[in-house]
Structure 1
């Protein structure tokens, strides 16, 4: 475990020279994304941050931006509207950012919710949670890779369930869980987690200059258990009223989560680039690369999850990646 003292000492070194000067936060209107933005701005560094969120989040996010400006007048925070469950809108948002920026240092991805309840699809025919937690995230990465490639220490952080993958967790014959009776909230969440890791590992292998982190944040009271594609379902009611109080009871403090996620976003513990780190370096899933995919838990420990990842690499990665490119192709 990386101690809180070590994490705060590392974060205290974030300044104009070491901060991610241009960041894109997808899902930064609430929860972990919002907490991490506040922690980054509080460093006092000169940074530019794009917050991507739905129209319904705009009013409260603009109030949050005013709060951030008062906290650090040198931080430029830009509201960017996007219905990111729709891949066409992801493309539009990315094109707008690419038109303004020559580089992106940090892409931080947290959008999504536990898909408890019946299957509900977007207008593009994709289950909503899968679009948010997987397809839109990978599409953001693919679109912004050229800008990440221009940064000195580029990093992509996807917050979901890094390290919790299971060897048999991807149904390669039904990647989108569309077959009758094959969709359930638990199965979907397990599958989307493993798909994140397999796809991010593919991207890390193809782009060794970029650090990829798939993190498991532990229990944080983000309100995620209260969100569902069908909030009136019995499953959603059970999750909200039974699991919700447990999460609120045992969740780590907001500031603790923020500092740990900021550390994962900036420290040279992951990939050897970023804020200087003299502690034990993190281990990624690609043994032959110094940089790669880091599976990081809420204690900021890395696990290569070697046995599971080797199975996913052999049996699922190519099929998942080929399928993913087929889905995303029209939006590239």
Structure 2
């Protein structure tokens, strides 16, 4: 595990030459994404940062980026409005970016929230958290891969539950649509596992891009209050009385989380590309320091999780990927 001191020292090496010069942040309007954008801007490097979010976040993000520009005038921020729980909107946003850029160094994906309420579907018929935490992320990646492949140190970081793979994927009901299939616990496990197996597939298809699925640990982002949760319901009271106090008690400091995530976005510790790193390199799901998917937790520990990933590859990956292609094909 790299110490926070070592992580800060590595991040101090980020400059105009080593920073991700063009990055796209989907989910950067709050939580881990927003914290990491701030940490990247505060390096003083010349960077162009695309932030994608809903209309309701626009004014708040404009204020946020103006504050960052006062710290780092070399940072350029570009806001793109989009309701990315919808795959059609995701495609539209990607087309805007592809028209503007030749290459992208970093794609950071952190959309979503714990599905603690009842099942809620988008107008496209997908459970909203699954769309945000899996389908949207894979669609952004597929659309922007040609631009990522043109960069020197391209990286895709999906923030959810990397390294927590423990259970089988329900391949007979991947979208948890059958009566009795969906619950908040099943949904969160299923979506995290789908991320790992989907990104593992892409990492093996595109070895010139560094793919990471990370687990941010406990960070007080306020996301437990998102979704269709009645504050006067048992779930609402449980969040207020138990879950929120636990999160506040055990969460790491925002600044520490930002530095750790910035390290994961930039360090050559993962895949051998990026800001120089003299410490022990992380091992991917292929048990290699380069190539494959890197599963990284909030401390910076990297695990191949060989037993569980191998089981998921053998029992679920081909079915999951075929289903994913079927869902996304109209939007590619």
Please give the TM-score of this superposition, normalised by the length of structure 2: 0.98
- In the other structure, the counterpart of 2:199 is 200
- In the other structure, the counterpart of 2:323 is 323
- In the other structure, the counterpart of 2:174 is 175
Counterparts of 2:220 and 2:193 in 1: how far apart (Å)? 23
Q: Unaligned stretches of 5+ in structure 1?
A: none
CA offsets, 1:211-238, max 9 Å, x none?
0110000000011112223344432431
Counterparts of 2:3 and 2:230 in 1: how far apart (Å)? 38
- In the other structure, the counterpart of 2:82 is 82
Q: C-alpha displacement at 1:326, in angstroms?
A: 0.3
- In the other structure, the counterpart of 1:190 is 189
Counterparts of 1:111 and 1:231 in 2: how far apart (Å)? 22
CA offsets, 1:83-132, max 9 Å, x none?
00000000000000000000000000001000011111000000000000
1:1-332 paired onto structure 2 within 5 Å: 1-168=1-168, 170-232=169-231, 233-287=233-287, 290-332=290-332
CA offsets, 1:238-293, max 9 Å, x none?
13431111101111000000000000000000000100001000000024672221
Please give the TM-score of this superposition, normalised by the length of structure 1: 0.98
Alignment length, in residue pairs? 331
Going from structure 1 to structure 2, the CA distance change for 1:231 and 1:15 (only over 3 Å counts) comes to: farther
Q: Give the secondary structure class of the aligned counterpart of 1:316.
A: helix
Counterparts of 1:157 and 1:9 in 2: how far apart (Å)? 21
Q: Unaligned stretches of 5+ in structure 2?
A: none
Moved over 6 A (4+): none
Q: Give the secondary structure class of the aligned counterpart of 1:143.
A: helix
Q: Give the secondary structure class of the aligned counterpart of 2:90.
A: helix
CA offsets, 1:31-73, max 9 Å, x none?
1000000000000000000000000101101111111111100
Give me the CA root mean square deviation: 1.0
Is the 1:105–1:152 Cα contact (8 Å) retained in structure 2? yes
